[in-house]
Amino acid sequence: MSKRPTLLLFFILFGLAYGIAQVQVPFTPRYNESIKGDVTIIANNMVSQDDTNNYNGNNGNHDYDDNVYVDIDSDASTFNSSSANFSNPDLNVQCISIYKAFLYWAAADKEKDNGDDNQPGWNYNDIKLMLPGETDYTTLTADDVIFRGRDAHFSNEPYICFKDITDSVLALPDVYGAYQVANIEAKEGDLYTHSGGNVGTSGGWQIVFIYESLELPAKNITLFDGYAHVTASVNNFEIDFNGFQ
């Protein structure tokens, strides 16, 4: 059976009003393998104009001045939280198993004044995760910090973190259900770049699931990650991808 290549490109892009589009971290393969399977993603936001309201299209979800943390739990140990539901990604295939599960989180994290910390007592590369069927969070530390803008005082000081959660997901009696994430360090209110532009706050997470089934065709699946800094006015530039089949 011939293999059909599938290319998954992972982007976290902050829409900004000022600056120059730049590839800060080249996109390189995180995962590459040929399997009978496919890829799906769940995700959610951590910064909005309301802490519990659902997303409602293009009306009043986010602005440049008074954003707050999304916080859906009643846990005093968390300062933000949101969830997303994972269900069978292919209803025509009954026998599906998870092969890999990768958690990414990111935010714009520029402090109000130099030396301040937007979330004292919490490390940006830590996160809390509650898996389906669980009632308590587990605190995780990133396997890899893909980019941290604060190290170079870059623009709105974005960061991106990665964690392989495959073993934890495979240990579940049922992988389907709510995946809840908490404590993504970001910023409430407004956010100005080092050059003075009000670009707004941002933060969120996503889980990439690679799944397999003997009922699915063979594919070569390659997952790339990196960081490209994109603005509202400068958003057309080339990204080179190498290393996939």
Q: What is the pLDDT of residue 115?
A: 53
pTM of the model: 0.85
pLDDT at 71 over 50: yes
Rounded Cα distance between 103 and 84, Å, is 13
Greater confidence (163 vs 92) lies with: 163
Contact in structure between 188 and 68 (CB atoms under 8 Å): yes
Q: Quick one: which of 44, 61, 42 has its CA closest to 184?
A: 44
Taking phi first (over 0 means left), then psi (-120 to 50 degrees means alpha), and beta for anything else, what does residue 201 get?
Answer: beta
Rounded Cα distance between 155 and 18, Å, is 9
Q: How far apart are the first and last CA of the chain?
A: 16
pLDDT at 21 over 60: no
pLDDT at 6 over 60: no
Compute CA distances 77 → 39, 121, 135, whole Å: 33, 11, 14
What are the domain boundaries of the chain?
4-56+64-229
Helices (H), the chain: 166-170
pLDDT at 58 over 80: no
pLDDT at 134 over 90: yes
